[in-house]
Amino acid sequence: MFSDITEHKKAEGRIKASLAEKEVLLREIHHRVKNNLAAIMGLIDLRGQTIDDETERTALAELSTRIRSMALVHEQLYKSEDFSRIDFQDYLDVLVCHLLISYERSSDIRVSVAAKDVEMELDIAIPCGLIITELVTNAIKYAFPEGRPTGSGGCEIAISMEYDGDAYTLIVADNGVGLPLDLDWTNPDTLGLLLIKMLGQHQLQGRIELDRTVGTTFRLRFAPVSIHSNSILRLK
């Protein structure tokens, strides 16, 4: 009997040691991924400084911003105690701050974020982060042109993410000038809109709705199913 108890304690100790080792390895993996993505951003930024063409420089800057949205997920995972999920509110706060500073609009555009108590797994957080990056970037660049009457409320972008136990609902809305009426987002001709469609409909297998009544409101609802086999990298 005493021998069984001793063996049980030894086995329990080995399991705890194994779990601790795996946690260290996971933390190191997320740290290295974040650093590798940062290095890629640095190379892109350096390349951008050597290019004279404004269009090409802008494209590289936007690419760097997309990569940063992915790196921030790994940074949040590295800092968290749970290496499989991130606090999406904390992630969005950092992401939005970066976007406003990058486009020098932090003083004239107000962005509200509502994602309290929403935790998200890595394979869902990254595509959601990319979608939000595209939508907020588009709003910052085009929804509030200089001289646009914004009323007493000013220029506003609202981001919310909710989970009702069955599905996530992401809403990104602005009170800007709205998308052009002749723009067909279901048949996108820009990389940003194409990414939104591919990530939202194909990778997350969600339903996208677009409301242009007042400004622009984007709504995406999707269930937290496994999406490994639906990566956009696999799409033809």
**Which of 22, 57, 83 is the C-terminal boundary of a domain?**
83
The reported pLDDT for the residue numbered 179 is 84
CA dist 142 and 166 (Å) reads: 34
Separation between Cα atoms, residue 191 and residue 197, nearest integer Å: 10
User: What is the pLDDT at residue 222?
Assistant: 96
Same domain, 140 and 216: yes
In sign, the C-alpha dihedral spanning 147, 149, 152, 156 is negative
Range of the domain at 36: 1-83
What's the pLDDT band for 13 if we cut at 50, 70, 90? low
Give percent of the chain above pLDDT 70: 78
Judge whether 207 and 221 are in contact, CB under 8 Å. yes
Percentage with pLDDT > 90 across the chain: 35
- Out of 59, 83, 107, a domain closes at 83
Whether residue 156 is found in the same domain as residue 54: no
pLDDT of residue 25: 62
Residue 107 pLDDT > 60, yes or no? yes
Q: Are residues 214 and 100 in the same domain?
A: yes
pTM of the model: 0.79
In this structure, of 18-22, 145-149, 206-210, 214-218, the range with the lowest mean pLDDT score is 18-22
The residues pairing with 158 across neighbouring beta strands, listed in sequence order, are: 112, 173
Buried b (16+ CB within 10 A) or exposed e, 12-35: eeeeeeeeeeeeeeeeeebeebbe
Least confident of 93-97, 161-165, 170-174, 186-190: 186-190
What is the domain count for the chain?
2
